[in-house]
Structure 1
Amino acid sequence: MDSQPSILVIDDQPDNFDVVETLLDGENYQLYYASSGQQALSRLHSFQPDLILLDVMMPDLNGMEVCQQIKPSTMQAVPIIMVTALTDKEDLARCLATGADDFISKPVNGMELRARVRSILRIKQHYDSMQVLLKLREDMVNMIVHDLRNPLTSIVLGAQILRFPDLSPEQQQGKVEQILIAGQQLQSLIDSLLMMAKLESGKMVLNYTEVDLYTLCMSALADIEAIATQKISP
């Protein structure tokens, strides 16, 4: 990960935080501490860690109750490792049923803790990267779908004008060119959608070609001219 991963340790015993801090020393993590479940929930309103180490046995709100409140909220993507002295399989199953992603038994073994934290943070990093890609895809699709309106409008407008009986041959030819340019732009946008689908499937092959910037700029100007014509037409 590019920045220091942040870990929130929730435990009513400060000595346990010291133990975790010692065991994770040198791992380049930014550690934060909450001494109760309620304090942790209040803090999570303004702070989203990359991982939560959550003690199960706490007064007031125990770890399972805290987990049950975190997971249905906007914090559901934050992974939780339960730290528990419970050994009964049913109790451990309940920890996972409340939404915990993993658990580690007390007394905490340093090698096991480091391995589980690294594993969970690696999964979290992959999840975050996927969310960024999905957001980028959504933005691109919205942008392309929005841009489809311009060439479609230009084509419809040009076709409607061609129906006027008193158009000169030069005017007719101009509108035909306008429709052709808009159709080419529409085709380019559709090609972009298909290209994005290939990128997502990993089947994209890059072909480098020379681009005529003059033609590209003139095409963009023609598109803008078509839009401007639409706005000033009675």
Structure 2
Amino acid sequence: MNHSPFTRSRTVDRILVVDDTPDNCLLIQAILQDEGYQVELADSGKEALRLIEQSPPDLVLLDVMMPGMDGYEVTRRIRANPALPFMPILLTTAYDQPSVAQGLDTGADDFIRKPVHFDELLARVRALLRLKHSVDERDQIARQREDFVSRLTHDLRTPLVAADRMLNLMAQGALGDLSDDVQDAIATMIRSNANLLTMVNTLLEVYRYEAGRKTLVFSPVNLAELAQEVVKELGGTRSRSGERAIAIVDR
């Protein structure tokens, strides 16, 4: 059976449960482990951040109301750390807490009310893990695409640069005297080779632009001069059976 190179490997999802109440941690741990998840526990925001930086989990189940560092601050610090990969954050909050919007604004992805209903908890966990897997797959595709473009442009550049050097040596007479027709043909090949090299470089620039790492800079172009250059390039390749006249109108 053939598998896509982008298929996610079958690994057990890791969930970090953060709650300062041991009974809550142990109960949620038992529920999640019964579903096949790997569960780690933290009893404070500080401990949670230490575990996350040490080994980022696939999902964080985070209590809002904790002494010292609350769930909002933990969420803010996770989202502010550029070294961490994306991980969904599911906040648990009591019914009498009206500031769910605050948690979402700080970077949480979802919330669930206490007391927790197990079916709802598992449904939200599954939904957020699907989001995590989707983001991971997107990032993997982006990395593989970047690697492909980098290798492609390198593999194309190498023979073009070598051809450019050889053609210039020939144009300089390194292989002996050349007739005028051969010199014209070599000059055309040098220009065409340079155009191909420019196209390869442009391919890389287009990818960088699409990836958001490049901005476009527009500059004016004289279309008449561009057309004249194209006509000149094609002039040496016209058929012997006939010629076409091309008029360039400069307005």
Instruction: State yes or no: 1:145 paired with 2:153.
Output: yes
The one of 7, 15, 21 equivalent to 2:15 is 7
Of the two, which has the highest radius of gyration? 2
Q: Could you list the runs of 4 or more consecutive aligned residues of structure 1 that deviate by over 6 angstroms after TM superposition?
A: none
Residue of 22, 30, 49 corresponding to 1:22: 30
Quick check: 1:112 aligned with 2:120? yes
Return 5+ residue gaps in structure 2 as ranges: 1-7, 208-251
CA–CA distance in structure 2, aligned partners of residues 165 and 22 of structure 1 = 82
**Aligned counterparts, 1:65-214, within 5 A:** 65-73=73-81, 74-75=83-84, 77-89=86-98, 91-165=99-173, 167-168=175-176
Output one character per residue of 1:84-105: Cα deviation in whole Å (capped at 9) or x when no partner: 114454x010110111000000
Residues 64, 95 of structure 1: 8 Å contact kept: yes
C-alpha distance in 2 between matches for 1:117 and 1:16 = 16
Q: Secondary structure at the match of 2:47?
A: helix
| Number of equivalenced pairs | 184
User: Contact 1:8–1:32 at 8 Å: present in 2 too?
Assistant: yes
The match for 2:218 is none
Q: Distance in 1 between the 2:11 and 2:154 partners? A: 36
Residues 67 and 86 of structure 1: CA distance in aligned 2, closer, same or farther (over 3 Å): farther
TM-score scaled to structure 2, two decimals? Answer: 0.65
Contact 1:70–1:76, Cα closer than 8 Å, also in 2: no
- CA-to-aligned-CA distance 1:159-215 (integer Å, 9 cap, x gap): 212213463589x8xxx7xx79x96xx79x96xx7xxx9xxxxxxxxxxxxxxxxxx
Q: TM-score, normalised by structure 1?
A: 0.70
CA distance in 2, matches of 1:27, 1:86: 26
What is the aligned-residue identity percentage?
39
Output one character per residue of 1:118-145: Cα deviation in whole Å (capped at 9) or x when no partner.
0000110011011111000111111122
- Correspondence for 2:68 among 49, 60, 68: 60
Letter in 2 for 1:33: L
